[in-house]
Amino acid sequence: YKLSVTKELGCLQDSNSTLTKQVAQLLNEAKDMQQQLTDVQLSKEKAKEEYARMLLEVQTKLAQKDAEVRKLDEACNLRVIELQTQLEQSNACQEVEKQ
């Protein structure tokens, strides 16, 4: 009976040792996976920040270009009005000369 119990105890100790090694290995794998997940999340966050910075830069440039276009449009409209006025004055002078 003692031999059987001793043998059983030896088997259980071996099994326990194997399970302990497996648990340690799984814990290391879990730690590695957690680190990978953290790295991926950090990478995503950095990319998100970079895209936000790029978007803000593009929006700023677009607003500047929009302001330039409005300013140019206003200047062109004023020039058209000046030219129309000159044309009207020229036509009026020609009418006076014809009379």
Tell me the pTM: 0.59
- Which stretches of the chain drop beneath a pLDDT of 50? none
| Residue indicated by tokens 């036509």 | 91
Amino acid, single-letter form, for residue 34: Q
Q: What is the pLDDT of residue 25?
A: 98
Number of H helices, E strands in the chain: 1, 0
**Cα–Cα dist 62/99, whole Å:** 55
